[in-house]
Structure 1
Amino acid sequence: MQNVTLVRIDLGKHTFHLHAQDRHGKAVFRKKMSRKQLVEFFATFQTCVVVMEACAGAHRMARKLTEFGHQIKLISPQFVRPFVKGNKNDFVDAEAICEAASRPSMRFVTPKTEAQQTLSALHRVRESLVRDRVKAVNQMHGFLLEFGISLPIGNAVITRLPAVLAQHALPPRLIAILERLHTHFKYLSEQIAEIDKEMGRQLGDDELGQRLLTIPGVGPITASVLVSELGDGKQYDCSRDFAASVGLVPRQYSTGGKANLLGISKRGDKNLRRLLVQGARSYMRRLDKKSGRLADWVRSMLTRRHPNVVACALANKVARTAWALATRNTKFEAGLATMPA
């Protein structure tokens, strides 16, 4: 096994399948191991390049194997699929990863740190709580509408639901159901508020997060997501690469030497893209109170483009600015706002 240069791991919940190749691309061995056996194997194995799909457990395993001196590469599963030959099984998947990793033009995913993974988990929990709260509010609106009670849009009226119920003659059982939903709504709101406070405390201790907050249209939640997803930003060659990874650049369908650019690609993290676009819209709503080169650029764009197009363009600019701040260790200055290279 001294000539092994590349090892691919097909990750699983309990079992892991290994496929090793030498520098000529010839298969050296295939192994099936448990999680404990895998760690023990690489702890004593010669240093080599280890490749995995960027899926569940990959980032933690990448950090563990890095401690043993191995070079870790993570590949997005969509780039591995074209290299699967014949029928699909775990060993064939492992071989396909080796084939994909050996391509000189292959793009890899940077392993996340523990802090980034923890922050990302916190955001996913918050998103789940927000969805549950919206569902509870919609149910209360729907149940009341069936009994002829139409409430205004928003959560403000839900907070004073007991007073609203007291004004109408409703079946006691329906009132009990609505009160139960109202209690659930208050619990979800409390949990979301606690998570927001936790994010604020984490941003207060994060130097990059504080610099990202100086960008117009970037609030605590957006800055927190950028910290967890962007990191130091050095995994991207330029700011446009980061904007493309979020799906804020035109989708291209060109042929015959004729360039055809469509709408934004909407690839990558849709939550981060949504936050950036919402932040851009928030900035545009207060544009009359803004000044500087960025505000002038937005006003100029609004004279010749639809507001939806301008919002996506501004979100693209914010994403590229965030990359520049992360990689160059700088702060945003409104008077010097230009498109990063």
Structure 2
Amino acid sequence: MEKDNIIAIDLAKSVFQVCKVSPRGKIIYNREVSRKRLKELLVKETKSLVAMEACATAHYWARYAERAGHQVKVINARIVKGFQTKQKTDKNDAIAIATAAPLEHIQSIRIHSVEEQAMQSTERARNLALTHVIAQSNQIRGLLLEFGIVIPQGINSLRRNLPMILEDAENDLPDSFRQIVMSLWEHLEVQIEHADAITSSLKGTIESNQVCQKLMKLEGVGPIGALGLSLRLGKGEHYSNGRNAAASIGLTPKQHSSGGKENIGHISKQCADKRLRATLYQGALSVVSLVINRPPKTNKEQWLKALIARRGKKVAAIALANKTVRTAYAILKSDSEYEPQVIV
């Protein structure tokens, strides 16, 4: 890598900033190129270290550069920001990426394959579809509440009560507004059908994925959690140990140490994969609620129950999520199966 040129790309939609730097650190050029020109440049250039920020389209361009024979490094945008010494411009951003790229202690994020990106995109589409369903149902419920009509939470309650409300002539709803509510409900039904279709498709994909099925044997890990872990960890090749894997998701305490004194704080609110962490935390909470009401069956449940008694449910749930990531890392790294130790 020390003998290769560095091609730093500040990604965009149509116009990209490309900075080429020699192995000695001299800037060969730093110019704007079109999308078509960038593809041609990556194909024509000799083997180089191609670096870019982890942002929209980064996985696509990383795969394209790898197919062109380059070594690729996709760097967290927060890390790149620390190398900016001047005002924020596309040229300065590209220089900052080029400066950070050759440093060995700055790791590349894991690059998704086309199949992995398709699974992640399907999960994102499902999440947005469910958000739309919740928003539309809450709007209907809120609008009717302004007329003194209360509907309990849940889609089933809305489906059961709404026809009777629209047919009730004594609830003082204006006829014109009844038509609006009916159209909102019809639109909601379409959204529910759309969300169910995406969920069914994602469920079939996860069921056919051996890695996800392996991870779903872990305590508190469901289909969405297993998918998130498999996409994040891969085969564990981007992490030196399980603690680093857990830290990348935001499940280890922040450290602010100096002068030989270690100060360990809370888990980070910013430097984390918040979506995956929330999923693992919710799964861990369900395990905590289950274990607290019955005798422990495994060594892990015994450890968890003792931790709940000392630190409470929420701290125990974070600790369990941390342990889940570490166990998942070990399973994927060694290509083994999860076998909890049962108390005899």
User: With structure 2 as the length reference, what TM-score do the two structures score?
Assistant: 0.90
Distance 1:46 1:265 in 2: 41
Q: Which amino acid aligns with 1:79?
A: I
Distance 1:107 1:4 in 2: 18
1:295 alignment partner, one of 294, 301, 311? 301
Q: Any conservation in 2 of the 1:5–1:48 contact (CA below 8 Å)?
A: yes
1:279 alignment partner, one of 272, 283, 289? 283
Q: Any conservation in 1 of the 2:53–2:75 contact (CA below 8 Å)?
A: yes
1:304 alignment partner, one of 278, 296, 310? 310
> Residue in 1 aligned with 2:81?
81
Give the secondary-structure state (helix, strand or coil) at the position aligned to 2:341.
helix
- In the TM superposition, what is the alpha-carbon distance from 1:131 to its structure 2 partner? 1.5
> How many residue pairs are counted as aligned between the two chains?
335
Q: Which amino acid aligns with 1:291?
A: K
Confirm or deny that 1:239 pairs with 2:245: no
Q: Any conservation in 2 of the 1:8–1:51 contact (CA below 8 Å)?
A: yes
Distance 1:297 1:155 in 2: 39
Q: Which amino acid aligns with 1:135?
A: A
Distance 2:207 2:299 in 1: 28
Q: Which amino acid aligns with 2:164?
A: A
Distance 2:237 2:120 in 1: 19
Q: Any conservation in 2 of the 1:4–1:28 contact (CA below 8 Å)?
A: no
- In the TM superposition, what is the alpha-carbon distance from 1:253 to its structure 2 partner? 3.1
Aligned pairs for 1:151-170 (under 5 A) are 151-160=151-160, 161-167=162-168, 169=171, 170=173
Confirm or deny that 1:323 pairs with 2:329: yes
Confirm or deny that 1:96 pairs with 2:99: no
2:215 alignment partner, one of 212, 217, 237? 212
Distance 2:342 2:90 in 1: 53
Q: Any conservation in 1 of the 2:214–2:337 contact (CA below 8 Å)?
A: yes
Q: Which moved more, 1:163-172 or 1:141-150?
A: 163-172
> Residue in 2 aligned with 1:197?
200
Structure 2: runs of 5+ lacking an equivalent: none
Distance 2:34 2:308 in 1: 58
Q: Which moved more, 1:302-311 or 1:4-13?
A: 4-13
What value does the CA root-mean-square deviation take over the aligned residues?
A: 2.1
Residue identity (%): 34
Distance 1:119 1:56 in 2: 16
Q: Which amino acid aligns with 2:338?
A: F
Give the secondary-structure state (helix, strand or coil) at the position aligned to 1:8.
strand
Give the secondary-structure state (helix, strand or coil) at the position aligned to 2:224.
helix
Distance 1:311 1:155 in 2: 29
Q: Which amino acid aligns with 1:131?
A: T
> Residue in 2 aligned with 1:183?
186
Q: Which amino acid aligns with 1:136?
A: Q
Q: Any conservation in 2 of the 1:199–1:220 contact (CA below 8 Å)?
A: no
Give the secondary-structure state (helix, strand or coil) at the position aligned to 1:286.
helix
> Residue in 2 aligned with 1:10?
10
Distance 1:226 1:164 in 2: 45
- In the TM superposition, what is the alpha-carbon distance from 1:258 to its structure 2 partner? 3.3
User: With structure 1 as the length reference, what TM-score do the two structures score?
Assistant: 0.91
Give the secondary-structure state (helix, strand or coil) at the position aligned to 1:303.
helix
Structure 1: runs of 5+ lacking an equivalent: none
